Amino acid sequence: AQKVTQAQTEISVVEKEDVTLDCVYETRDTTYYLFWYKQPPSGELVFLIRRNSFDEQNEISGRYSWNFQKSTSSFNFTITASQVVDSAVYFCALYTGGFKTIFGAGTRLFVKA
Amino acid sequence: NAGVTQTPKFQVLKTGQSMTLQCAQDMNHEYMSWYRQDPGMGLRLIHYSVGAGITDQGEVPNGYNVSRSTTEDFPLRLLSAAPSQTSVYFCASSRGMSGYTFGSGTRLTVV
């Protein structure tokens, strides 16, 4: 069975702190995709990144970085020097085929000024 | 491009009523899906479609119907609304596994 676990329900940090959001996934498939989405307080869902199972290179995009480790089945997301605008719910998701993407329960991030 | 357009944004239904949530995309994406979002449960897949005329069930399909007569439109029908269907509903589309583009959501309350 496929599963995505985001163990951190809520995280609160002070602006300029670094924060890492954890994502652990379960699948027996060798080919799969992992995603992160952001849901700001306005409610829309925004795609952030996709990573396929054959590409374990870390990704950096501005203050955002992602660490994919197949050995630990993790796809963690780090925000460096957090800002108030980073306050949102972040979802990790897994696609393993069969046209079904499953989502974790989400991590709510509060960044205080 | 408008992306994915969902209507209505808000809806209140009485138990037993039926309604259709509309979803349209203008990106020529072959893949469309409906999710519901409930507190602490993330997004759960209701139904999905891989192209016009092709639909299939997701994790929580009971009480919902879909159809895909065109590439652009993917309406979700609630057959007989129940309080358990109170939720926020998102329509999404993608080209292959490029990552979803989501609609703005429909907040549905069933009383």
| pLDDT per residue as tens, chain A (113 positions) | 789 999 999 999 999 999 999 999 999 999 999 999 999 999 999 999 999 999 888 888 899 999 999 999 999 999 999 999 999 999 999 998 777 899 999 999 999 99
Residues of chain A contacting B108 with CB distance shorter than 8 Å: none
Residues of chain B contacting A104 with CB distance shorter than 8 Å: 42
What residues form DSSP beta bridges with B13? Answer: B110
Which one of B56, B100, B105 has the shortest CB-CB distance to A43?
B105
Instruction: Retrieve residue B61's tokens.
Output: 């399909």
Q: A34: closest CA among A89, A75, A82, A71?
A: A75
State the residue for tokens 């994915």. B4
CB pairs under 8 A between A and B: 55
- Is the N-terminal amide bond of B61 cis, ω within 30° of 0? no
Quote the CA–CA distance of A37 and A109 in Å, as a whole number: 13
Question: How close A45 gets to chain B, by Cα (Å)?
Answer: 6
Q: What angle do CA B91, B31, A48 make, to 5 degrees?
A: 65
CA-based nearest residue in chain A for residue B95: A99
